[in-house]
Chains A and B, each alone.
Chain A
Amino acid sequence: AQTVTQSQPEMSVQEAETVTLSCTYDTSESDYYLFWYKQPPSRQMILVIRQEAYKQQNATENRFSVNFQKAAKSFSLKISDSQLGDAAMYFCAYRSAYGGSQGNLIFGKGTKLSVKP
């Protein structure tokens, strides 16, 4: 069974600085997707960025980028130029490339990010 591990329960960053959130996962599959979701106080889970395992190039979305190391099964999220609105819980998630029950999202426990003004 697949597992997702986020080893940092809490992180803190100064406004305008850069922070990296860690995520590792375990799978025997070769084709899958990895996601970072953000959950602000509004509680809605918002997709931040996603990575297809078959792509070697790291995904980027504006100030958000990932460092995907497939062999090491590592998927970290880098937030550049941190803003107060980035403060939230961040969840790393894995999803098999197949649909149906194989494609169900598997979440880590989350990292709470605080942004200091």
Chain B
Amino acid sequence: ETGVTQTPRHLVMGMTNKKSLKCEQHLGHNAMYWYKQSAKKPLELMFVYSLEERVENNSVPSRFSPECPNSSHLFLHLHTLQPEDSALYLCASSQDYLRDAGHSPLHFGNGTRLTVT
């Protein structure tokens, strides 16, 4: 059983739709992340939240809008997506964003498989 839960597991949406991806972590962590995993490409870090504040936005188009209402929940709001946005979206959490990597490993969810038609 994973400590990081993502819903939905699969999502198909048209380019004019608005949808949201949800991530919840039950580990008491302070940092949460959105990654995009496309075929034959390395995982791409999209956003990082630390203590509910966005600390990184890696040149992600504005059609992706993250929200972190509290340290346990993270959303990714989607609107007017393009077919090339089809990918697996992975959420992760870690104890502390600012502590060194050895003390704060990432825990991942099972991802949401997004298909944009």
Q: Which A residues fall within an 8 A CB radius of B?
A: 4, 9, 32-33, 35, 37, 42-47, 50, 52, 91, 95-101, 103-110
A-B contact pairs, 9 of them (CB 8 A): A44-B108, A44-B110, A47-B105, A50-B102, A97-B101, A99-B98, A103-B97, A104-B45, A109-B40
Q: Are B105 and A98 in contact (CB under 8 A)?
A: no
How many B residues touch A, CB cutoff 8 Å?
A: 27
CA distance A45 to B100 in the complex (A): 20
Chain B 1-52 residues near chain A, CB threshold 8 A:
2, 40-43, 45, 48
Q: Are B90 and A45 in contact (CB under 8 A)?
A: yes
Q: Which B residues fall within an 8 A CB radius of A?
A: 2, 40-43, 45, 48, 55-56, 88, 90, 92, 96-102, 104-106, 108-111, 113
Q: Are B97 and A99 in contact (CB under 8 A)?
A: yes
Q: Are A97 and B105 in contact (CB under 8 A)?
A: no
Q: Are B102 and A33 in contact (CB under 8 A)?
A: yes
Contact of A91 among B2, B43, B45, B100 (CB under 8 A): B43
Q: Are A100 and B97 in contact (CB under 8 A)?
A: yes
CB distance from A75 to the nearest CB of B (A): 15
CB distance from B38 to the nearest CB of A (A): 10
Q: A108-B42, A109-B40 are in contact. Are A99 and B100 (CB under 8 A)?
A: yes
